[in-house]
Amino acid sequence: MVNILGINLSTLNRTELLSRLDSFLNSGKSHYLVTPNPEIILRANKDEEYFFVLNSADLAIADGFGLVLAGLLRGQIIPRITGSDLTPLLLKKAEQEQIKTLIINWDSGLSKAEDINTTLKTLYPKLVFKVIDTPKKINLTAEEREQINSFEPALVFTALGAPYQEKLIWHEIKNLPSVRLALAVGGSFDFLTKKIKRAPRLMRRLGIEWLWRLISQPQRINRIWQATVVFGLKVLKDNFILPLLYRSNVAVMLYKKTSAGIKILIVARTSDPSHWQMPQGGRDHESIEAAGIREAREELGTDKFIVKKTFKNVYDYNFKKLGKEKKYRKSGYKGQRQSLMIAEFTGDDSDIKINFWDHVAWKWIDIDKLFETVHPYRQGGVKEFLPYFLKTIN
CA–CA separation, 6 vs 27, rounded Å? 29
Q: Around Cβ 136, how many Cβ atoms within 10 Å?
A: 16
360 pLDDT above the threshold of 60:
yes
- Residue 209 confidence (pLDDT): 79
* Of 258, 255, 261, nearest in space to 278 by CA: 255
Residue 339's alpha-carbon distances to 77, 180, 288, 361, in angstroms, are 38, 45, 7, 24
DSSP-derived secondary structure for 287-321: -HHHHHHHHHHHHHS---EEEEEEEEEEEEEEGGG
Residue 325, pLDDT above cutoff 90: no
Residue 326 has pLDDT above 50, yes or no: no
pLDDT band at 206 (very low <50, low <70, confident <90, very high): confident
* pLDDT above 70 as % of the chain: 97
Backbone angles phi, psi at 164, to 5 degrees: -65, -40
**Segment 186-197, tens digit of pLDDT:** 999 999 999 988
pTM of the model: 0.92
Q: Where are the domains of the chain?
A: 2-238, 246-393
- pLDDT, residue 322, reads 62
235 touches 78 (CB < 8 A): no
**Which pLDDT score is estimated for 324?**
45
DSSP secondary structure string for all residues of 20-67: HHHHHHTSSS-EEEE---HHHHHHHTT-HHHHHHHHHSSEE-B-SHHH
pLDDT value at 62 more than 80: yes
Strands 261-269 vs 359-366: parallel, antiparallel or unpaired: antiparallel
Of 101-105, 129-133, 303-307, 317-321, the least confident: 317-321
* Residue 328 clears pLDDT 50, i.e. is over it: no
The SS3 call for residue 106 is strand
Higher-confidence residue: 37 or 329?
37
Displacement of CA 285 from its chain's centroid (Å) = 23
The pLDDT tens digits for 102-141 are: 999 999 999 999 999 999 999 999 999 999 999 999 999 9
Which residues, in sequence order, are CB contacts of 362 under 8 Å at separation 6+? 265, 266, 267, 268, 300, 352, 354
Residue 304, pLDDT > 70, answer yes
Give whole-number Cα distances, 383 to 103, 317, 323, 328, 368, in Å: 53, 13, 21, 21, 11
330 band by pLDDT with thresholds 50, 70 and 90: low
Secondary structure (3-state) at 7: strand
Mean pLDDT over all residues of the chain?
93
pLDDT of 18 over the 90 cut: yes
Q: Give the pLDDT confidence of 134-175 residue by residue, as tens digits.
A: 999 999 999 999 999 999 999 999 999 999 999 999 999 999
Q: Residue 52 is which amino acid?
A: F
Quickly name the fold that domain 246-393 has. Answer: Nucleoside Triphosphate Pyrophosphohydrolase (3.90.79)
Local confidence band at 321 (pLDDT 50, 70, 90 cut-offs):
confident
Q: Is the pLDDT of residue 343 over 60?
A: yes
**Rounded average pLDDT over 283-297:** 95
| 3-class secondary structure, 356 | coil
Q: Does residue 330 or residue 11 have the better pLDDT?
A: 11
Q: Residue range 80-101: average pLDDT?
A: 96
Query: Which of 57-66, 75-84, 213-222, 257-266 is least confident?
Result: 213-222
Q: What is the pLDDT of residue 215?
A: 78
